[in-house]
Each structure stands twice: as structure tokens, then as C-alpha cells.
Amino acid sequence: MSPKILIAATSSWCTTARLAMSLANAGFTVEAVCPSRHPLRKTKVVARTHTYHGLRPLISFAEAISAAKPDLIVPGDDPATRHLRDLYYRERDCGQAGAALCALIERSIGASESFPVVHARTRFVGLAQEEGIRVPKSWVIADIMELKKLATDVGFPMVLKADGTSGGDGVRIVHTFLEAEHAFRALQAPPLLARAAKRALINQDMGLVWPSLLRRRSVVNAQSFVAGHEATSLVACWNGTVLASLQFEVLNKRDSTGPASALRMIENAEMSAAATKIVGRLKLSGLHGFDFMIEAHTGNAYLIEINPRATQVGHLTLGSGRDLPASLYAAVTGNAVHESPKVTEKDTIALFPQEWLRNPASAFIRSGYHDVPWEEPELVRASLVEGRNWSKRFSQRKEFQALSAARLPLL
């Protein structure tokens, strides 16, 4: 009987459906907990789906886990990871009655001691620095006075980031104090109720509802700016040991702070060492992503953040040591690793639908491997719809940021 994996997703990223396909190919029986119109429901490899309800997320997750009885849970986005963490704390308070679920969550994402660290950007950077990893200087900014002092002491450009955000939604690169002030207020402020309601009704994304209703403010961090180009890594790990990894330099992005759309596979010893140290220090398990900046004039790799979940490259099977689903399957079953055939011999990957939506005539689509799941036509259609919705939301977000930069009166 094949081991069972439960993919947990709260937002409609098509990449989790791609990951489900690779996990099924590796030998897992795949189930999913996700919103009712999620792309995971468009692929034939998911044996059963369980509905995620954003207004009662922990109940949704607990019911799905109880019904699926998985050997492993893989979160597909940051809110899903936070729900698993919160579910762990809830079940831990139940004593022996919650022990089995707590053990499953730790087996899936890592030791509970890691939970507070991976969701706090500055705390994570501080831990990495303790391990001798090259990182940018980072600070938690409590208010405008602290921001002003930091701007005077450190200067510009700098990067402002809000905890608990992903996909570039909570990142601003600022070059003046005026930009920094407006970015700080926007990042710290609770989501507008109208925006939260639209996300809930149209996109079935409930992630903004409670923060909006409770007027919950985000923690804002500042990082020193590293001039260079971005790189990213995703690792499969088990009890603090790296099993397999993928490393890429970013060739193109949908926007300046968002996810990559075209990548080139690389091998970088400094990135590998950093990921190995963090995985060991935090005793991580499952899939975890790491983002880096490669400094232009030195080639040094600066670790800038961790993504405690699967990222958009997790489904790619690229040969020995680069097949993450097969490595997880071997860890769960205790069998030897049986890797899937490489999806391509090319080093350049044009991610679908990101690069196609950015530019259908992209040179990376023509010269590289265009990552289209032709065997799942319904998923292709769903990916294009979601990609266009993302483009529309991004355009609206940029318009709002442009208005805020005009220093409109604060209400």
C-alpha cells in the first residue's frame, strides 16, 4: 500500500497542483485540502479533495487530516504552514489526545522549536547569522521614528518587508524617506475590509478576512539592500538532514518583488552550505525554500529569507539529487531513492504560466524548457485563468501603491 500525502493549500496557486503530479509519480497517494475552485481539483492525480473554509481554517485542516490519515502533510503556501503551526499548538494543549497529530505535523514540517523562527523575518536572519551564514543586516521597525533613525544611520536604498506575507506582496524597495514612510504605513496597516471581502467572494481566499476584522497590524522589517541578482533554492529534508535540492538563478520575474518566471539551474556551494546549516539547526522536515541575493561585485550569496513550504519549482525532477518528491518518498518508506526521468536536459526553465503571461514571445520560452503540463488540459486552462486573475490583482495593487506615493491625507 502506497504512503499517503496530504497537500494543504489556501490560495489558488497552480504550482501546488504541479507538485501533486510529481508526488503521485514518485509513488504517493495524493489527497488535498483546498478551496472549492482550486487548481488541485483540476488534476486527475489527486485521489480525494477536502474543502478548506477560510473562516474556520483549523477545523478544515483537522477534519481533512482525520479523514485522509496521511503519512505526511505538505503545505503549499505560507497561510497553510501557519495553520499547521496553530493546529499543533491547539493539539499540544490537549495533552495525550493531540499527541498523534502533533507528531504528524512535526514529521511533516520540522521540530516545533522552528515555528516561531521561520515566520519572523528578522529573527530568522539573526539565527542564520549565528550559524555563520552571510546575511543582510536586518531590523524590526516599530514606528516612524525608528524608521527615520534607521534611514539616517543606514541610508538608502533599503528593503521593507512585512512578516506573514509571500509572493512579493509584502516587500517594498525604497529609495527615499518619503517612499519608506508610505511603504511602512501600507505594510503595517490591516487589510482594507473591501479588499478582504473581494478576495473572499471572488478569489475564495479568506486569508485577509480575520486580519481585517481584527484590525491586526503586521510586523515590518527593514533589510540592507544587496546589489546583485536573485537566486533561489528548494530542499527536501528529513529530521534536520537535506535529502535533495534544487538551485536556480532568477532570470526574469513577473514584477520586481514577485515570484520568478524564468530560471537557470545552478550549483552554488555557499547556498548549499547555508541551507544545510539552517535545516540542521531548526531540525526541518518536508519542503523548504530559501531565497538569496548574489552580490554583483563579489559573487557572495546572501541568504535573505526562508519559505517554510513548497515553492513553485518543487515539481521539477532534474536528475540525481534533484528529485525532491522521490527523496521524500524514500524517507517516508525507508526505501532507496528511485528518481523519475529528468524533465529536460536544458538548464533554463520558463515557468508556466508565469513567463507566458509576462511575454508570450519570450526568448526563454523558445530557448529553454517551457514547463507546460500538457497531459492535464484542465489544469492548463485553470492555470491561465488564475494567472490572468493574478495579473489583474497585481495591476490594481500597483495602482494603489502609485496613489499612496502621492502622499494622500491619512485618515
**Dist CA 370 CA 377 (whole Å):** 15
Mean pLDDT of the chain: 89
Highest mean pLDDT among 23-32, 179-188, 401-410: 23-32
Report which of 44, 53, 43, 55 is spatially closest to residue 8, judged by C-alpha positions: 53
0.75 exceeded by pTM: yes
Helix (H/G/I), strand (E/B), else coil: 356:
helix
CATH architecture entry for 4-114: 3-Layer(aba) Sandwich (3.40)
pLDDT over threshold 90, residue 394: no
pLDDT category at 323 given cuts 50, 70, 90 is very high
Report which of 263, 280, 365, 255 is spatially closest to residue 314, judged by C-alpha positions: 263
% of residues, the chain, pLDDT over 90: 73
Give CA 382 to chain center in angstroms.
20
Cβ(348)–Cβ(120) below 8 Å? no
**Dist CA 59 CA 68 (whole Å):** 14
| Domain regions of the chain by residue span | 4-114, 137-224, 228-389
pLDDT per residue as tens digits for the range 358-384: 899 999 999 999 999 999 999 998 888
Lowest mean pLDDT among 44-48, 91-95, 161-165: 161-165
The DSSP symbol for 13 reads -
What confidence score (pLDDT) does residue 399 get?
38
Cβ(172)–Cβ(187) below 8 Å? yes
137-224 topology per CATH = Dna Ligase; domain 1 (3.30.1490)
Pick the CATH number of 228-389 from 3.40.640.10, 3.30.470.20, 3.20.130.10, 3.20.20.100: 3.30.470.20
What confidence score (pLDDT) does residue 203 get?
53
**Dist CA 225 CA 142 (whole Å):** 20
For the CA atoms of 123, 126, 128, 133, what is the dihedral angle to 10 degrees?
A: 150
pLDDT category at 202 given cuts 50, 70, 90 is low
pLDDT over threshold 90, residue 167: no
Report which of 55, 46, 118, 124 is spatially closest to residue 88, judged by C-alpha positions: 118
pLDDT per residue as tens digits for the range 253-281: 877 767 899 999 999 999 999 999 999 99
What confidence score (pLDDT) does residue 216 get?
74
What confidence score (pLDDT) does residue 411 get?
29
Which position has the grid cell 503595517? 188
Please spell the DSSP secondary structure of 115-176, one letter per residue.
HHHHT-HHHHHHHHHHTT-----EEEE-SHHHHHHHHHHH-SSEEEEETT--TTTTEEEESS
Q: Which amino acid is at 186?
A: A
Cβ(240)–Cβ(279) below 8 Å? yes
Helices 269-282 and 121-130, axial angle in degrees (round to 10):
100
